[in-house]
Amino acid sequence: MTKEKDHIAIVGAGFSGLACAFYLSEAGYPVTLYDPFPIGENASGISAGLLHYYTGPRATPPSDAEEKLKASLELFEASSDALGSSVFKKTGLFRPALNANQEKHYRKRAEVSEDIRWISENETLELLPQFSPLPGIWIANGYSVDTKRYLEGLWQACRNKGATWKKQGVKTLSEFEEDLVIAATGASPLLRDFGLSIHPVKGQILEIEWDIQLPFPISANVYLVPGTLPTRCFVGGTFEHHFDDSKPDPSTAQELLLPKMKALFPQFNGYKIVDCRAALRGSTPNRLPICGNIKGNMWALAGMGSKGLLHHAFYAKKLINEILCYNIP
């Protein structure tokens, strides 16, 4: 491969695809993104934008948690710089303990993590008078991200460095004339041709208007993220393994999400559904992203599941470093 022919195609312009495009463009390589959806209107763009690394029922950080957060924050800054205004803010977040076992694990996590503070039932009610009297943990390193603007800004940063975008779908990865192809295809079945298992999971979020002004995000068996208006918030997300299509289904979303929300806010009655958004996430059997070479000049970064906002920058940087060392002089 000669220097003059190092043109790279990236299929998918969500979190992973744009992160790969950013690192390649920054290194001076010509990149073309392929995606049939406008920037910010794919699965990544409908995310509620809650970012932290104390995930799961035990609030256990994944491997390389701090490096993953740092990599994501660097791309948020790059996007903000390109737009001239911030696409994220450090808000902190509250994780209530829903049962005795979870309380035990949360207490232990608060004892060993400097950025976590234990919150008693009384403190919870002081912070949120309408909330159930549940203890929990306050996570200082919690962020709210405007994901649509983040993607738009990251694309602007890529375009400023020479990247191009073609609004078109892709049927097979073998159709490209570019010297190298990266499939950042989320839940798309494209990678099945290479023996890779990607399971589509439908995720829906609701935007509601109610009489509570949520001061910070909450993450339990459902998450609540403050909206752009004081009396609005996003409620999510569903994990639907069986579904008819990827279109928003407000009745199903309400059936799956609102009972969990009402358990957290017992006085939650009056509300209006403002919007319902839906998209397909790509999940793998081991719940780890697919990141690496799949055949010849074809590479993949996919299968982020619900952790795309935390994982995408870290794995994109890892993949691009591997590609540049392996393929490109």
Chain segment 66-84, per-residue pLDDT in tens: 999 999 999 999 999 999 9
Domain 199-283 class in CATH: alpha beta
pLDDT score for 274:
95
Residues 301-314, mean pLDDT to the nearest whole number? 94
Would you say 19 and 313 are in contact if contact means Cβ atoms under 8 Å apart? yes
Buried/exposed code over 205-228 (b: 16+ C-beta within 10 A; e: otherwise) = bbbbebebebebbbbbebbbbbbe
pLDDT score for 5:
43
Would you say 199 and 315 are in contact if contact means Cβ atoms under 8 Å apart? no
pLDDT grade for 111, boundaries at 50, 70 and 90: very high
Per residue in 236-255, pLDDT (tens digit) is 999 999 999 999 999 999 99
Structure tokens at 279: 């998209």
pLDDT score for 4:
55
pLDDT grade for 328, boundaries at 50, 70 and 90: low
Residue range(s) in the chain whose domain bears CATH number 3.50.50.60 = 3-86+145-197+285-326
- Following DSSP, what letter does each residue of 261-274 receive, concatenated? HHHH-TT---EEEE
CATH of the domain spanning 3-86+145-197+285-326: 3.50.50.60
Q: What is the layout of strands, in order, in the sheet containing 298-302?
A: 164-166, 31-34, 8-11, 180-183, 298-302, 290-295
How many angstroms separate the Cα of 313 from the Cα of each of 1, 75, 183, 265? 27, 7, 15, 35
Structure tokens at 172: 């097979």
What's the CA dihedral at 33, 34, 36, 41 to 10 degrees?
A: -30
| Strands (DSSP E) found in the chain | 8-11, 31-34, 50-51, 88-90, 93-96, 116-119, 136-139, 143-145, 164-166, 180-183, 199-210, 218-219, 223-226, 232-236, 271-283, 290-295, 298-302
